[in-house]
């Protein structure tokens, strides 16, 4: 475990020209993570890929990024410092490289203090080293002793990377498909009759909301995920977008149409492969994250499940 001692050196004069870099960073380019292969049994994603989203797409699919995901940040709240507020900082400056852990710019003290100097905290020169630790936010310079060089946050993960770790812990998966007519050889729907679709037994992992926290590289991020929509491909060329989990069908509804997620087939499935329609439900998630004085949005798409349903023509008996 790294050990550290500190010694107050000086209160530097106020600087002209701010080094803080706290101003809001430009938003990151829109992108989303798409699942290329979903496990058919668990509904979890096996292969994720990141794709760019055109500026005119997904305009209503959740909040836009307000942070760049910069890996270096200042947060003085642990020291009881509220101003300046938490936010990104340049990862390097004339004072060295930034460490999120120590919340300062790190530079090896040159020359090193002589043997017996209090900065060594009883250690001998060559046993670790003494470093300058400068906080331009409060214009404070201290000396720290460490047995190995303090971490360089500019080479570490970004808040967005840490948010992805939190998402991994959520174990998100595709919805369980609820649909009438029910899948199965003995279940047949009819042309012209309402079809109801819904997320069966939705929980935190299949529909949200779900929240998780992850830490890495001196960064702690909290992320919250919700399903934004479920896109239903009905097998007849029709695509239905549902912004709710849908309403489960019961016999009490009779021939009524679904109030929020439904479809009507205009032809039977007899001409389809296997005599059935393949219905695929694809979940689109929106994850908002915050931490390191930044916020952002990650979109996940492509978690899906499919079922086979049979739709037939009503038979009319003529004597």
Last residue of a domain, one of 126, 155, 184: 155
Q: In this structure, what are the phi and psi dihedrals at residue 178, rounded to the nearest 5 degrees? A: -110, 130
Question: Is residue 75 in a domain?
Answer: yes
- Residue 319 is predicted with a pLDDT of 46
Last residue of a domain, one of 155, 171, 189: 155
Q: 41: domain CATH number?
A: 2.60.40.10
Residues 149 and 275 in one domain: no
- Residue 31 is predicted with a pLDDT of 74
- How confident is the model over 23-48, as pLDDT tens digits? 333 334 467 889 988 998 899 999 98
Integer Rg of the chain from CA: 29
Residues 130 and 246 in one domain: no
Question: Is residue 82 in a domain?
Answer: yes
Question: Is residue 242 in a domain?
Answer: yes
Residues 105 and 93 in one domain: yes
Q: How far is CA 134 from the centre of its chain?
A: 32
Task: Give exposure, 251-276, as e/b (b: 16+ Cβ within 10 Å).
Answer: eeeeeeebeebbbebeebbeebeeeb
- Residue 70 is predicted with a pLDDT of 85
Q: Are 299 and 284 in contact (CB under 8 A)?
A: yes
Last residue of a domain, one of 100, 123, 155: 155
Q: Which helix (H) or strand (E) holds 164?
A: helix 159-170
Residues 112 and 135 in one domain: yes
- Residue 7 is predicted with a pLDDT of 39
- How confident is the model over 41-77, as pLDDT tens digits? 899 999 989 887 665 454 455 566 556 678 999 988 8
Q: How far apart are the first and last CA of the chain?
A: 91
- Residue 316 is predicted with a pLDDT of 45
Residues 171 and 135 in one domain: no
Question: Is residue 319 in a domain?
Answer: no
Question: Is residue 245 in a domain?
Answer: yes
- Residue 28 is predicted with a pLDDT of 42
* pTM attached to this predicted model: 0.78
Residues 16 and 124 in one domain: yes
Query: How many domains are contained in the chain?
Result: 2
Residues 95 and 235 in one domain: no
Contacts of 79 (CB under 8 A, 6+ apart): 103
Residues 95 and 50 in one domain: no
The residue range of the domain holding 138 is 4-24+70-155
Residues 150 and 162 in one domain: no
Residues 178 and 257 in one domain: yes
Residues of the chain with pLDDT under 70: 1-30, 53-68, 185, 315-319
Q: Are 307 and 230 in contact (CB under 8 A)?
A: no
Question: Is residue 252 in a domain?
Answer: yes
Residues 40 and 111 in one domain: no
Residues 279 and 188 in one domain: yes
Question: Is residue 317 in a domain?
Answer: no
- Residue 228 is predicted with a pLDDT of 94
- Residue 10 is predicted with a pLDDT of 36
Question: Is residue 265 in a domain?
Answer: yes
Rounded Cα gap, residues 182 and 205, in angstroms: 23
């Amino acid at each position: 475990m790294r050990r550290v001692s500190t010694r107050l050196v000086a209160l530097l004069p106020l600087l002209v020209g701010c080094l803080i870099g706290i101003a809001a960073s430009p938003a990151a380019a829109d992108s989303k993570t798409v699942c290329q292969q979903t496990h058919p049994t668990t509904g979890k994603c096996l292969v994720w890929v990141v794709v760019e989203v055109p500026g005119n797409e997904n305009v209503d699919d959740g909040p836009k990024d307000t942070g760049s995901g910069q890996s270096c940040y200042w947060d003085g709240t642990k020291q009881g410092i509220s101003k300046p507020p938490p936010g990104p900082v340049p990862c390097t400056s004339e004072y060295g490289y930034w460490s999120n852990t120590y919340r300062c710019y790190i530079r090896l003290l040159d020359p090193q203090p002589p043997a017996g100097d209090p900065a060594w905290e009883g250690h001998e020169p060559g046993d670790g080293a003494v470093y300058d630790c400068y906080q331009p936010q409060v214009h404070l310079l201290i000396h720290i002793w460490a047995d190995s060089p303090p971490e360089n946050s500019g080479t570490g993960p970004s808040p967005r990377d840490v948010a992805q770790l939190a998402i991994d812990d959520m174990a998100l998966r595709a919805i369980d498909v609820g649909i009438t007519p029910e899948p199965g050889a003995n279940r047949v729907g009819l042309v012209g009759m309402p079809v109801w679709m819904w997320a069966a037994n939705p929980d935190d992992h299949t529909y949200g909301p779900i929240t998780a926290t992850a830490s890495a590289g001196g960064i702690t991020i909290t992320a919250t995920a919700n399903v934004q929509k479920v896109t239903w491909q009905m097998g007849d060329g029709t695509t239905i977008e549902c912004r709710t989990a849908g309403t489960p069908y019961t016999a009490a509804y009779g021939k009524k149409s679904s109030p929020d997620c439904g479809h009507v087939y205009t032809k039977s499935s007899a001409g389809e492969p296997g005599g059935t329609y393949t219905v695929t439900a694809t979940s689109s998630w929106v994850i908002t994250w915050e931490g390191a004085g930044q916020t952002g949005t990650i979109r996940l798409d492509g978690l899906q499940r499919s079922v086979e349903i049979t739709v037939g023509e009503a038979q009319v008996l003529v004597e």
